């Protein structure tokens, strides 16, 4: 069994399942994909459900996602997860997209229905569950600042906050044009729900704008969706003066477990959590799409804890 499979391995069942008792029937597609914890997250739950299925990593170069998904459907796969940078390509390759993935503009889960590819996005709903689990609050009741609202993860989380009808959304990004255009795109959804002055509930700022300091007074939840923090030597993506004890601080990064942002949040007495819960809940929701009626959360929680300890 390989740690990472390629498109060439999809030529036939025999090359894919060589030396394995279980058929590969689920995959995570990415580029690169060797770092993905999805096989560890899903395999124990698949075994517990007696699915007889194996979960593999599949490296797919950009531009070849549709072809890869067609091959998986031909090989009778149940479904797939899709990670960076393929979430947009997966959405366009799908025959049907659910409302969430359409609004988030990206798909992270595919379910095969014969040769049809159905696309979903469990990142958004997974985020809502993660915030509830970590802080016992609902996204819809919060004033939220999304830092990194120019990347794929920031976009998905911001769009989900809007779907939930959150109280207020502040989009912050190093390249402010991207946050501005996301705000323009999302504003009609949020503003149409309540009568307030235009632009009041969604605003966008550059990371170095002095205005984010004043805005942070009126914020409950700060979410980091930038890649700043993935390296242990990385600084916090947000000036520490923006953090206050009343904030809930969520970092979508889970490895390292304590980014500089989370350390600073703890230091000033704010409650904080890392992205482990998001990884867990998006995975459990995908599993439930593939195997309806299953409740994989507790076994996945154990598998993830073990996988992270081994890292
Ligand atoms: P994606 O999630 O689409 O792959 P990415 O290129 O990894 O995107 O970047 C994710 C986010 O991290 C973006 O918001 C990016 O800001 P820009 O849009 O300005 O590129 C942010 N980001 C990456 N490096 C950063 C840094 N050193 N400082 C601040 N933000 C950074």
Cα of 147 from ligand 1 centre, angstroms: 9
Pocket mutation for ligand 1, best pick of 90, 181, 206, 226 (most atoms within 8 Å of C-beta):
226
Cα of 223 from ligand 1 centre, angstroms: 14
Q: How far is CA 266 from CA 145, 261, 293, in A?
A: 18, 9, 38
Cα of 225 from ligand 1 centre, angstroms: 8
Taking CA atoms only, the protein residue closest to ligand 1 atom 6 is 151
pLDDT tens, residue by residue, 54-91: 999 999 999 999 999 999 999 999 999 999 999 999 99
Within 6 A (CB) of ligand 1 lie 84-85, 148, 150-154, 173-175, 178, 207, 226-228, 237
291, 47 Cβ separation under 8 angstroms: no
Please give the share of the chain, as a percent, with pLDDT higher than 70.
Answer: 97
What is the reported pTM? 0.94
Instruction: Return d(Cα 123, Cα 307) in angstroms, integer.
Output: 20
For the ranges 12-16, 27-31, 268-272, the lowest mean pLDDT is seen at 12-16
pLDDT tens, residue by residue, 183-235: 999 998 876 655 455 457 999 999 999 999 999 999 999 999 999 999 999 99
157, 223 Cβ separation under 8 angstroms: yes
Ligand 1 atom having least distance to the Cα of 150? 14
CA of residue 3 relative to chain centroid, distance: 22
> What average pLDDT does the chain have?
94
Q: Is the confidence at residue 280, as pLDDT, over 60?
A: yes
* The token pair that represents 134 in the structure block: 């970590």
Taking CA atoms only, the protein residue closest to ligand 1 atom 14 is 148
Pocket mutation for ligand 1, best pick of 90, 146, 148 (most atoms within 8 Å of C-beta):
148
Residue of 70, 72, 7 whose CA lies nearest to 33: 7
pLDDT of residue 199: 53
Taking CA atoms only, the protein residue closest to ligand 1 atom 16 is 174
Instruction: Return d(Cα 76, Cα 35) in angstroms, integer.
Output: 25
Annotated active-site residue 87? The verdict is yes
Cα of 12 from ligand 1 centre, angstroms: 38
Ligand 1 atom having least distance to the Cα of 149? 14
* The token pair that represents 222 in the structure block: 């700060």
pLDDT of residue 21: 78
pLDDT tens, residue by residue, 94-116: 999 999 999 888 999 999 999 89
pLDDT of residue 241: 96
């Amino acid at each position: 069994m390989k740690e990472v499979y390629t498109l060439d391995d999809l030529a036939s069942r025999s090359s894919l399942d060589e030396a394995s008792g279980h058929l590969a029937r689920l995959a995570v597609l990415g580029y690169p994909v060797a770092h993905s914890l999805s096989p560890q997250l899903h395999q124990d739950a698949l075994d517990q459900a007696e699915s007889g299925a194996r979960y593999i990593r599949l490296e797919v170069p950009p531009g070849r996602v549709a072809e890869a998904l067609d091959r998986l459907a031909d090989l009778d796969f149940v479904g797939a997860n899709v990670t960076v940078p393929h979430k947009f390509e997966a959405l366009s390759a799908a025959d049907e997209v659910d409302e969430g993935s359409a609004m988030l503009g990206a798909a992270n889960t595919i379910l095969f229905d014969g040769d049809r590819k159905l696309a979903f996005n469990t990142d958004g709903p997974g985020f809502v569950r993660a915030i509830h689990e970590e802080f016992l609050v609902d996204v819809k009741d919060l004033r939220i600042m999304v830092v990194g609202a120019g990347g794929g993860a920031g976009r998905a989380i911001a769009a989900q906050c809007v779907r939930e009808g959150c109280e207020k959304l502040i989009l912050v990004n190093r390249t402010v044009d991207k946050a501005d255009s996301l705000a323009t795109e999302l504003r009609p959804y949020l503003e149409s729900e309540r009568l307030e002055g235009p632009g009041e509930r969604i605003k966008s700022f550059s990371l170095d704008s002095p205005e984010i300091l004043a805005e942070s007074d009126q914020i409950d939840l700060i979410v980091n969706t930038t890649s700043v923090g993935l390296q242990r030597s990385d600084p916090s993506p947000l000036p520490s003066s923006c953090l206050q004890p009343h904030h809930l601080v969520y970092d979508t990064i889970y490895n390292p477990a304590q980014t500089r942002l989370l350390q600073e949040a703890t230091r000033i007495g704010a409650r904080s959590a890392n992205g482990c819960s998001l990884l867990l809940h998006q995975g459990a929701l995908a599993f439930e799409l593939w195997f309806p009626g299953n409740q994989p959360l507790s076994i996945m929680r154990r598998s993830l804890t073990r996988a992270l300890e081994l890292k």
